[in-house]
């Protein structure tokens, strides 16, 4: 088990980088509470609405909205674990997510590859993902294997199962995938359980983090709800990653985008914890700014770096492990 270096530790005479002050964090939290309980969030899935309703949340079935009161959110934040262990097939590759420690993962998803043998620029295959899995497994400074590409040569309706098979067979590190739906999440859990020795053992040593995303602004669509709930039932790690675009799908200001992002991720946390208190949860972000001239996601801009740093601060504010996409 590895505990990586600590980042952001305060020390006299040292350097630090904080986008938000303590007062800023409090104000964004207060705005988040206001949006959650007054505006609410769109919830497409009927079962998720049932869960929200049973958790003391005001649900409008016709509008498919849920308005989450502050005490429900605060209870969910308290119940989510502050420390999460991401297990690998090889226990030496286990990674501990806890306050201040920083690790590195690759990020998905490359839609084209350059063939290493022929140089051809083409769509990736399942064999390419298997090769990439072995490469990432060898690279000691990559802690977690986030699906780097997807298999385009298999039926796309069940591609998460094929992706996970290629990764489990060729990597001994912790794996992150998107599982698309509740049904496919169950199948992926079955596969991981077969590797580790059963579902009870998998709860103790979760080999896979399941990722899903809200739709900005303020929507938990059906497949997202299904993954949120199914991972909680299975006791598996959920990484809920918002992908707002400042100036596009969210406010052009940093503060406004942070509020939208926070509402989306924390609403998913509430659903996750209502299904199973104590379910492991990672506060995720691929939020960026939009190039207003070209209408494109400006992933590598200085403004996106500020957004990412601020979101990492927000995750620490709630004592939640975080996953922040880099540019």
Q: 245-246 and 219-220: which strand pairing?
A: unpaired
Query: Looking at residue 198, what is its pLDDT?
Result: 97
Q: Tell me: the pLDDT tens digits for 77-108? A: 999 999 999 999 999 999 999 988 899 999 88
State the average pLDDT over residues 37-62: 98
Enter the pTM of the model: 0.94
- The yes-or-no verdict on residue 293 having pLDDT over 90 is no
Token duo for residue 1: 């088990």
The superfamily in CATH containing domain 22-324 is: Trimethylamine methyltransferase-like (3.20.20.480)
Residue 225: count of CB within 10 angstroms of its CB: 25
- The yes-or-no verdict on residue 295 having pLDDT over 90 is no
- The yes-or-no verdict on residue 111 having pLDDT over 60 is yes
Q: How far apart are the first and last CA of the chain?
A: 28
Token duo for residue 63: 């509008």
Q: Parse the chain into domains and list their residue ranges.
A: 22-324
Q: Tell me: the pLDDT tens digits for 200-243? A: 999 999 999 999 999 999 999 999 999 999 999 999 999 999 99
């Amino acid at each position: 088990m590895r505990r990586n270096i600590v980042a952001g530790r305060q020390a006299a005479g040292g350097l630090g980088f904080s986008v938000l002050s303590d007062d800023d964090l409090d104000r964004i939290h207060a705005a988040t509470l206001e949006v959650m309980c007054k505006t609410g969030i769109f919830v497409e899935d009927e079962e998720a609405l049932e869960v929200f309703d049973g958790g003391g949340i005001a649900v409008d079935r016709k509008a498919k909205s849920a308005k989450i009161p502050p005490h429900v959110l605060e209870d969910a934040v308290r119940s989510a674990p502050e420390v999460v262990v991401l297990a690998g097939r090889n226990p030496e590759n286990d990674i501990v997510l806890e306050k201040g420690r920083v690790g590195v993962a690759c990020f998905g998803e490359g839609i084209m590859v350059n063939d290493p043998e022929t140089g051809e620029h083409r769509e990736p295959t399942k064999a390419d993902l298997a090769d990439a899995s072995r490469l990432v497994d060898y690279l000691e400074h990559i802690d977690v294997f986030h699906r780097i590409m997807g298999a385009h040569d298999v039926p796309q309706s069940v591609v998460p199962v094929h992706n996970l098979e290629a990764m489990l067979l060729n990597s001994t590190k912790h794996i992150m995938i998107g599982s698309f739906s509740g049904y496919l999440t169950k199948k992926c859990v079955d596969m991981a359980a077969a590797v580790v020795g059963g579902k009870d053992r998998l709860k103790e040593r979760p080999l896979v983090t399941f990722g899903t995303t809200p739709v900005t602004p303020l929507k938990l669509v059906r497949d997202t709800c299904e993954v949120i709930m199914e991972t909680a039932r299975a006791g598996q790690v959920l990484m809920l990653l918002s992908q707002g675009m400042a100036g596009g799908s969210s406010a052009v200001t940093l503060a406004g985008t942070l509020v939208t992002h926070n509402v989306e991720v924390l609403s998913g946390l509430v659903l996750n914890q209502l299904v199973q208190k104590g379910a492991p949860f990672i506060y995720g972000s691929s939020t960026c700014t939009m190039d207003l001239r070209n209408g494109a996601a400006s992933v590598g801009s200085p403004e996106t770096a500020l957004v990412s740093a601020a979101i990492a601060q927000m995750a620490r504010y709630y004592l939640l492990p975080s996953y922040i996409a880099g540019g």
